[in-house]
Amino acid sequence: MRHPRIHTKENPYECNQCGRAFRGSSNLILHQRIHSGGKPYVYNECAKAFGQSSDLIIHHSIHSGEKPYERNDCGKAFSQSSHLVNHQRIHTGEKPYECSECGIGLRQSSLLIQHSGEKPYKCPECGKAFSGCTVSLKHQRLHIGENLEYEKAFSSDSELNGQETIHKEKKS
């Protein structure tokens, strides 16, 4: 039954919280963990939890340092195949994501979302919107009091110090 849906693009399984539809019930169940916060897959070394087993496997490569996806001509290696694909577009000049407003081409769909100013990821707690899922999830952790690893979230000490100052001022 599932295989014919691939050809018809039928998506009968709809999320009752956001309306997103899926071909299979298992995909809907995985998606619903985003809303429920269910994370049954835990990486023992750092206790980080994930909603999908595939995310746990990807996270393992961060700890192990494995970078099996390598580009031969420049020697750059990546832990995820999708990161290699994105990097290859630098070399090929491929920009498959085109803005419907101005026609500019971009290498990644996330860059197109940023370019458009779209912020599809909304915090259910306060309504603040974000252009990226990861940033949205980090923000949501602030509401539940989960301690963020600030040193990993910011690219420079000045950004980190600025964010810590903001949080200290809010608490005062």
pTM score, two decimals?
0.53
Q: What is the mean pLDDT of residues 16-45?
A: 84
- For residue 1, give every residue at least 6 positions away whose Cβ sits within 8 Å of its Cβ, in sequence order, or none: none
92 domain residue, yes or no: no
CATH of the domain at 32: 3.30.160.60
The pLDDT > 70 percentage for the chain reads 80
pLDDT in tens, 81-140: 889 999 999 999 999 999 999 999 999 988 998 899 989 888 888 999 988 888 888 888
28 domain residue, yes or no: yes
For 38, counting Cβ atoms within 10 Å of its Cβ (0-12 exposed, 13-18 middle, 19+ buried), the class is: middle
Strand partners, 21: 14
How many domains is the chain partitioned into structurally? 1
Q: What is the mean pLDDT of residues 4-8?
A: 59
Is pLDDT at 61 greater than 90 in this prediction? no
Structure tokens at 70: 């390598």
Comparing 40 with 93, the larger pLDDT belongs to: 93
Distance CA(50)–CA(156), nearest Å, equals: 27
State which residues form the domain around 4: 1-36
The pLDDT > 90 percentage for the chain reads 24
SS (H, E, C) 76-96: CEECCHHHHHHHHHHHHCCCC
Task: Find the helix or strand (DSSP H, E) in which 158 lies.
Answer: helix 157-171
Distance CA(138)–CA(119), nearest Å, equals: 15
Q: What is the mean pLDDT of residues 44-69?
A: 86
2 domain residue, yes or no: yes
- What pLDDT score does 98 carry? 94
Is pLDDT at 163 greater than 80 in this prediction? no
Other beta carbons within 10 Å of 112? 20
8 domain residue, yes or no: yes
128 domain residue, yes or no: no
- What pLDDT score does 59 carry? 87
105 domain residue, yes or no: no
- What pLDDT score does 69 carry? 92
